[in-house]
């Protein structure tokens, strides 16, 4: 019996695809899935199916999927909804085991749409076929150059992140969420979140799983919990964003996908049991995802902060406390190292205001202060709120902060989060982008949320 990864792999990396409803329209605004597949670099066989054409994009076009003589791994159906049930039956007769239904207007709208979906599900069960959708953008796979998206997605760098969502929204990605694989489960008549979590858990290319959830099918709550636990047992971090927290939100979920929204308090308890990270918006998602991929876990919850601005230190105290984090009590050795380079009138505590000490030489002060807190056994993580803008004739790096971070941070098993200040940061951000144990985030709240994700129990 095939494992879940082998069973669902044709949705992400098929050897051959039948595009049912293929169109000859091309270019911007054409929503041509087949054109996007070719442009993105898919090397498998593509069989267009549409009784209106003899040829599509230089390939023979078939009147019926059953006319294709070769084996077909995956069928992609993008046709009016009333035709879909009969076409799914044709796919079953052809022996196709994986089908994506892009078409809309099924169970989420009720009535006749619900009847169509029930018929599709019955056919799939009899044929031992897996169905993704309906109302889905399908899948996108940067590792293997495959896409079923009817919107073209450009090639880019990607990370070992597997995304599952109930919307095409996440296909565009975010600056710090460069997924490697994504699937839109859509209206969930068959393949659901549980299946995809299990698939990603078995995928050696995936290290982090992000789940966007609007609702679960009835009776799948326990399986959802066990799937997350299974992924965690394989060393994968799991991040979950659940929509429909309010009554109005749950009603909107039903109209969007036809899914049953989960009561929020129940869901919160499930995630706590599974030790999954919960996020509530894109900003929080990116901070947590980036931190988990880039930074080592903390041994405790004590943070040391170095700042060029006393006001940033005051703000950080409030924000860290809000997130349940503590400011570390610095050791005498750490205080002494910083005090020796600071004016005698400046008391050294935590947060550490290193700006006055920069007057005696910024490079020396940055290196000394950073090494002092990294050496300190009382410190589990380091936060830097520093001015890195190149606003003057001084070149980027003249302060010595970037060099100190690049030299010292990789030597310690502690996370270092940099929150830059200033409007011209591109040079320093690029310089620190790939430094081991370092993440650059946009604000103190993002930094606090990232540290929270790195706690031992998180």
CA distances from 153 to 33, 69, 221, 362, 392 (A): 11, 31, 33, 44, 39
* pLDDT at site 256: 45
CA distances from 229 to 200, 201, 307 (A): 13, 10, 39
* pLDDT at site 395: 55
Same domain, 284 and 306: no
For residues 31-44, average pLDDT: 97
Count CB-CB contacts under 10 A for residue 445.
Answer: 19
CA separation for the pair 206, 293 (Å, rounded): 11
Checking if the pLDDT of 126 tops 70, the result is: yes
Decide: 241 and 249 in contact? Cβ < 8 Å. Answer: no
* pLDDT at site 278: 95
Counting Cα atoms < 13 Å in the Cβ hemisphere of 251 gives: 3
Best CA proximity match to 133, nearest among 88, 178, 199, 172: 88
Domain ends where: 232, 260, 294?
294
pTM, two decimal places: 0.92
Same domain, 246 and 334: no
CA separation for the pair 107, 113 (Å, rounded): 5
Helix (H, G, I), strand (E, B) or coil at 67: helix
Residue with tokens 């007057």: 359
Query: What is the residue-averaged pLDDT of the chain?
Result: 92
Same domain, 448 and 384: yes
CATH number of the domain that residue 336 is part of: 3.40.50.261
For 177-192, letters b (16+ CB in 10 Å) and e give bbbbbbbbbbbbbbbb
Same domain, 109 and 170: no
Checking if the pLDDT of 339 tops 70, the result is: yes
DSSP string, 392-409: SSSPTTTTSHHHHHHHHG
Report the range of poorest mean pLDDT among 49-58, 102-111, 253-262, 275-284: 253-262
CA separation for the pair 360, 253 (Å, rounded): 59
CATH number of the domain that residue 35 is part of: 3.40.50.720
DSSP string, 253-322: HHHHH--BPPPHHHHHHHHHHHT-EEE-SHHHHHHHHHHHHHSPPPSSSEEEEEES-HHHHHHHHHHHHH
What percent of the chain shows pLDDT beyond 90? 79
* pLDDT at site 394: 56
Taking only the tens place, the pLDDT of each residue in 367-417 is 999 999 999 999 999 999 987 655 555 555 557 888 899 999 999 999 999
Could you tell me the residue range of the domain that residue 183 belongs to?
156-294
Residue 140 lies in a domain: no
Domain ends where: 265, 294, 323?
294
Same domain, 352 and 392: yes
DSSP string, 87-134: HHHHHHHHT--EEEE----SGGG-THHHHHHHHHHHHHHHHT-EEE-S
* pLDDT at site 261: 55
- How many structural domains comprise the chain? 3
* pLDDT at site 405: 94
CA distances from 349 to 192, 303, 326, 404, 447 (A): 51, 12, 13, 21, 20
């Amino acid at each position: 019996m095939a494992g879940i990864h082998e069973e669902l792999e044709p949705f992400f990396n098929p050897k051959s695809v039948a595009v049912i409803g293929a169109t000859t329209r091309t270019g911007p605004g054409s929503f041509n899935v087949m054109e996007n597949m070719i442009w993105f670099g898919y090397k498998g066989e593509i069989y267009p199916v549409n009784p209106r054409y003899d040829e599509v994009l230089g390939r023979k076009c078939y009147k019926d999927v059953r006319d294709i003589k070769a084996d077909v791994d995956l069928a992609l159906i993008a046709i009016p909804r009333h035709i879909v049930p009969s076409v799914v039956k044709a796919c079953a007769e052809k022996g196709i085991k994986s089908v994506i239904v892009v078409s809309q207007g099924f169970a989420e709208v009720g009535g006749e749409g619900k009847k169509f979906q029930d018929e599709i599900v019955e056919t799939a069960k009899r044929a031992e076929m897996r169905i993704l959708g309906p109302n889905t953008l399908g899948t996108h796979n940067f590792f293997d150059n495959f896409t079923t998206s009817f919107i073209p997605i450009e090639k880019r760098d990607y990370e070992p992140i597997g995304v599952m969502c109930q919307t095409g929204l996440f296909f565009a990605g975010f600056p710090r969420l460069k997924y490697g694989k994504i699937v839109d489960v859509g209206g969930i008549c068959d393949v659901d979140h549980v299946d995809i979590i299990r698939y990603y858990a078995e995928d050696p290319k995936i290290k982090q799983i992000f789940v966007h959830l609007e609702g679960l099918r009835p009776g799948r709550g326990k399986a959802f919990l066990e799937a997350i636990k299974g992924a965690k047992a394989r060393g994968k971090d799991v991040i979950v964003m659940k929509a429909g927290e309010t009554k109005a939100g749950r009603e909107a979920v039903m109209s969007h996908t036809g899914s049953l929204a989960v009561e929020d308090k129940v869901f919160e308890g499930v995630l706590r049991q599974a030790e999954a990270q919960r996020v509530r918006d894109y900003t929080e998602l990116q901070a947590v995802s980036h931190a988990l991929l880039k930074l080592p876990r903390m041994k405790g919850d004590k943070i040391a902060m170095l700042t060029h601005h006393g006001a940033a230190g005051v703000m950080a105290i409030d924000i860290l406390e809000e997130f349940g984090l503590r400011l570390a009590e610095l050791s005498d050795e750490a205080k002494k190292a910083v005090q020796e380079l600071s004016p005698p009138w400046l008391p050294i505590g935590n947060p550490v205001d290193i700006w006055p000490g920069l007057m005696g030489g910024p490079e020396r002060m940055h290196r000394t202060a950073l090494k002092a807190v990294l050496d300190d056994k009382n410190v589990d993580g380091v936060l830097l709120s520093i001015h890195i803008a190149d606003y003057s004739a001084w070149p980027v790096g003249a302060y010595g902060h970037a060099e100190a971070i690049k030299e010292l941070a990789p030597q310690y098993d502690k996370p270092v989060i940099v929150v830059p200040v200033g409007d011209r940061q591109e040079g320093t951000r690029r310089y620190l982008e790939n430094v081991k144990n370092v993440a650059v985030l946009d604000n103190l709240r993002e930094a606090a949320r990232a540290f929270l994700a790195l706690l031992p129990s998180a």
